[in-house]
């Protein structure tokens, strides 16, 4: 009997710890983030007293402006998450504008650990895709034109690439107030402190010289 109860308890614990597909639903109309430096966290940020909430708490301005794509890989993400729009706190949603330089502007392979992303192209053309988990590692990819929409499921590696001759602009909704970002190359080759080059040489089937060179490219420690 005790064994049965233990098995049942373990099963229930496992089931209830399954990750939900988006942020948990709020327990009030809104919970405008109040004190960004608070030492208290409630799986999100502490709420401002609703009596003092203003329209500005739900407002952000500036997504009409293009991000500068001249640096890095030729893309620039302007993310409106809870850090920039306090009213998003507990609502499980955020918004991004992504600008791409012409001729190979790239938003490199990355993961949002906490969000599904739905993206639409406003200007230009993008080659986009995501890869499923093991064992298939299947690539789903598509060339998007203005007005097209594509969805990147939560937690999967995805990318966007502007192979066109003109700038591209996309807007994306994400199912978290704080989607998080893991850029694959930077996380693997640019961790701080670095992962042992023995590990990376074996994992990527590269010689250690190549690994050291890659680590220098992505170094994040200075």
Ligand X SMILES: *[C@@H]1O[C@H](CO)[C@@H](O)[C@H](O)[C@H]1NC(C)=O
Q: For ligand X, which is the closer residue by CB, 105 or 129?
A: 105
Identify which range of 64-72, 102-110, 197-205, 209-217 contacts ligand X by CB under 6 A. 64-72
Q: Are strands 149-152 and 94-100 parallel, antiparallel or unpaired?
A: unpaired
Please check whether residue 97 is in contact with residue 180, taking contact to mean a CB–CB distance below 8 angstroms. Answer: no
Residue 63 interacting with ligand X (CB under 6 A): no
Q: Which stretch binds ligand X (CB under 6 A): 54-62, 68-76, 156-164, 196-204?
A: 68-76
Closer residue to ligand X, CB minimum distance, 72 or 196: 72
Residue 123 marked in a binding site: no
Of the candidates 171, 165, 169, 170, the one whose C-alpha atom is nearest the C-alpha of residue 102 is 165
The answer to the question of residue 102 lying near ligand X (CB under 6 A) is no
Hey, which residues between 70 and 89 contact ligand X (CB under 6 A)? Answer: 71-72, 76
**What minimum distance in Å lies between the beta carbon of 72 and ligand X?**
5
Interacting span for ligand X (CB under 6 A) from 42-50, 67-75, 119-127, 151-159: 67-75
The residue within the footprint of ligand X, chosen from 67, 109, 153, 167 (CB under 6 A), is 67
End-to-end CA distance of the chain: 58
Cis peptide before 215 (omega within 30 of 0): no
Which pair of tokens denotes residue 111? 């993961």
Instruction: Record the tokens describing residue 12, joined without a space.
Output: 């229930």
* Residue 110, annotated as binding a ligand: yes
Distance CA 113, CA 93 (A): 14
The verdict on 68 binding ligand X (CB under 6 A) reads: yes
- Give the Cα separation of 90 and 47 in Å (integer): 9
- What is the rounded CA–CA span in Å between residue 198 and residue 220? 19
Flag whether 112 is marked binding: yes
Binding residue count for ligand X, defined by CB under 6 A: 5
User: Residue 68 or residue 207: which is nearer to ligand X going by CB?
Assistant: 68
Q: Is 56 annotated as a binding residue?
A: no
Query: Can you list the positions of beta strands (E) in 114-156?
Result: 117-123, 126-131, 139-144, 149-152
As annotated, the binding site includes: 107, 110, 112, 117, 158
Binding site for ligand X (CB under 6 A): 67-68, 71-72, 76
């Amino acid at each position: 009997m005790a064994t049965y109860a233990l098995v049942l308890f373990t099963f229930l614990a496992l089931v209830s710890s399954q990750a939900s597909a988006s942020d948990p639903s709020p327990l009030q109309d809104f919970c405008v983030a109040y004190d960004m430096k608070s030492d208290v966290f409630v799986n999100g940020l502490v709420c401002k007293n609703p009596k003092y909430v203003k329209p500005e708490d739900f407002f952000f301005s500036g997504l009409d402006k293009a991000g500068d794509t001249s640096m890095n890989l030729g893309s620039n993400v302007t993310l409106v998450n809870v850090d920039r729009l306090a009213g998003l706190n507990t609502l499980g949603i955020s918004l991004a504008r992504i600008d791409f330089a012409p001729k190979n502007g790239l938003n490199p392979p990355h993961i949002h650990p906490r969000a599904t992303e739905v993206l639409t192209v406003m200007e230009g053309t993008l080659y986009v895709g995501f890869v499923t988990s093991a064992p298939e590692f299947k690539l789903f990819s598509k060339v998007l034109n203005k007005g097209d929409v594509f969805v990147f499921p939560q937690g999967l590696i995805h990318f966007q690439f502007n192979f066109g001759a003109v700038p591209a602009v996309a807007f994306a909704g994400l199912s978290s107030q704080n989607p998080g970002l893991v850029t694959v190359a930077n996380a693997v080759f640019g961790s701080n402190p670095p992962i042992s080059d023995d590990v990376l040489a074996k994992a990527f089937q590269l010689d250690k010289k190549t690994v050291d060179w890659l680590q220098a490219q992505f170094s994040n420690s200075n």
